[in-house]
Amino acid sequence: MKEHSLFLMAGFPGKETEFIKRADRFREEFEDLLRKTVMLGEGIVGESVLNSGEIVTEFTRKAECQTANLTGIPIDVKITEVEERLCAGNCARVNREMVRCVRMLNRHALKSLNGLISLKEEILRKMTACRLYTTNYPLLIEHILREAKLYRHIVSELERRGRISIPDLCNLEIFWNQIMMEHAQFIRGLLDPTECELIEAAHGFAKDYCRLLEEAREQEGEVHTLTAGTLQLTKQYQQFKTAGTEGITGCEIRSIILPLLADHVLREANHYLRLLGQVQG
């Protein structure tokens, strides 16, 4: 959510001072939430999460520094440095005080999420009514809006039930396959027109995930059999994103993709791979 807010800020023209200020406020709020979450997570976060590459990759710090320099938007790289040093644990530190801190964190997150969701909805309405210009695609706003609503659902469940219910496999794949498909569509559209091979590869991934979405919807209510194919495709896609992030942070790929956006979508692919691995396991 912190990075969503940054991408919103970076996409507005200079005249949209009010939208820039509002997005910046949420960037600061979620950066503060992330800082507190990382501090609370020391010795508690699961090893599979730390090893997945969904929290931080080998490119994250460099991508943050480059993006801050390119946009002038401040990024607290010290949070990433702490994330890199996080240790897994067995929840031995969980006590009444920890529960109180997490509950406060969740409630703060829900308040900030509600505000950010409202901002994204307003931006989308004005964009589609030709009353607001931004370099972000309308689909990207819809994309980050869906992710914010999923996050809000997860935090709300934690507050209400104390745990997250496991979604059925079909809905899990439909959600994340759509996210992966749209990443490929964004990458395809943000690459320089001369990057023909990369554009073709991104287009291929978009088509592959589109096909998986159609197959999943056709199987609705039936035995779900797509996970193996989805896992294999997502492994290939993760390799493509890794190479792309390395190329963008190394200034070897011509594009208008912010380095942090490249790393952001790579971390989401890593997250999805962990989810798929848990289902297969």
Q: Of 165, 181, 211, which closes a domain?
A: 165
Residues 272 and 151 in one domain: no
**pLDDT exceeds cutoff 60 at 221:** no
Q: Please, what is the average pLDDT of the chain?
A: 93
For the record, the structure tokens of 15 come out as 């005249």
Looking at the DSSP assignment, which residues form a beta bridge with residue 255?
191
Residue 53 forms part of a structural domain: no
The reported pLDDT for the residue numbered 101 is 93
Contact 58, 263 (CB under 8 A): no
Question: Per the structure block, which two tokens stand in for 105?
Answer: 């964190």
Quick one: pLDDT at residue 1? 98
Last residue of a domain, one of 116, 148, 165: 165
Using the Cα atoms of residue 151, residue 155, residue 156 and residue 162 in order, give the sign of their dihedral. Answer: positive
Residue 160: domain span = 1-44+89-165
Q: How confident is the model at residue 218 (pLDDT cuts 50, 70, 90)?
A: confident
The span from the CA of 25 to the CA of 31, in Å, is: 10
Same-domain status, 148 and 235: no
What value does the mean pLDDT take over residues 118-147?
98
Q: Which two tokens stand for residue 255?
A: 């594009």
pTM: 0.94
Same domain, 235 and 123: no
Do 212 and 199 belong to one domain?
Answer: yes
Task: Answer yes or no: is pLDDT of 167 > 70.
Answer: no
Residues pairing with 191 in the sheet: 255
102-139 as b/e: b if 16+ CB within 10 A: beebbebbbebbeebbebbeebbeebeeeebebebbee
Tens-place pLDDT, residues 1-56: 999 999 999 999 999 999 999 999 999 999 999 999 999 999 889 999 999 999 99
pLDDT over 70 percentage in the chain = 95
Q: Cα(255)–Cα(187) distance, rounded to whole angstroms?
A: 9
Both 16 and 152 in a single domain? yes
Q: What is the CATH number of the domain that holds 173?
A: 1.20.1260.120
Q: Specify if 124 maps to a domain.
A: yes
pLDDT digits (tens, 9 = 90+) for 40-52: 999 889 999 999 9
Number of domains in the chain: 2
For residue 48, the model assigns a pLDDT of 93
Q: Residues 71-95: what's their mean pLDDT?
A: 90
Tell me, what amino acid is at 103?
R
Of 108, 96, 91, nearest to 36 by C-alpha is 108
Over the stretch 249-278, which tens digit does the pLDDT of each residue have?
999 999 999 999 999 999 999 999 999 988
Whether residues 127 and 253 fall in one domain: no
Tokens 């690459």 found at: 191
| 161 plus 171 within the same structural domain | no
Same domain for 93 and 149, yes or no, is yes
| E-strand stretches of 47-139 | none
Looking at residue 215, its pLDDT comes to: 87
What pLDDT score was predicted for residue 14?
Answer: 96
Fill in the DSSP letter of residue 166: P
Judgement on whether residues 129 and 177 belong to the same structural domain of the protein: no
Q: In terms of domains, do 269 and 134 share one?
A: no
Measured CA distances, 108 to 9, 32, 200, 212 (Å): 22, 10, 43, 37
Please say if the pLDDT value at position 223 is more than 70.
no
Which range, of 60-69, 90-99, 181-190, averages the lowest pLDDT?
90-99
Q: Where are the alpha helices (DSSP H) in 162-195?
A: 169-190
Shared-domain flag, residues 103 and 240: no
Q: Given a cut of 80, is residue 90 above it in pLDDT? A: no
**174 & 142 share domain:** no
Tokens 């490249």 identify what position? 262
